Structure 1
Amino acid sequence: MARLPTDATLPVDVVVNGLPQTEGVDYFIVGRLIVFDRALLAGPPPSRPRRILAACLGIHVGGDTLDVHYRTGGTLRAATGLDIARC
């Protein structure tokens, strides 16, 4: 679960670990919250050696990353690295 940016207006595009998510399938908007159908891992980013190893192996390590793309006042904006709440 994560909170939408305060200036975000619907609709929004949600991206987890670089992969676009589908509203109603992967997540739901409840008020100002983005609620996911699966648990996302909140956590510190991995160390540099682990990132390099993961890049070489083509795998994701560490916590999930959450980005939201939205419009406000007609301008396209992006909020990256949103905080993921532990539930």
Structure 2
Amino acid sequence: MKKGDGIFELTKMGVVSSARGLKVGEALLKQVIEQAPLIAHNTLFLLTNKKCEAAIHLYDKNGLYIVIQLCSNTVMRTLGVM
């Protein structure tokens, strides 16, 4: 989802329960990361809940990292997600 000039949020990525464990989510994430430069991005971010341990592991494994662990409403508005 475009949030500004060159800023995109990765939203609503998920797989059906029957596909979990088959590395479908990892393939989807890798495809998004590979295609991101083609849409002239300079920032790609996502928001997640710390309870989503499997997702966080997937993001970490694929080179994404935590920038902000706890966001204030001001930060959320700046990112355009509120």
- Specify if TM > 0.5: no
Structure exhibiting the larger radius of gyration computed from Cα positions: 1
Greater length-normalized contact order (CA 8 Å, ≥ 6 residues apart): 1
Q: TM-score range by the shorter chain?
A: under 0.3
> TM-score normalised to the size of structure 1?
0.23
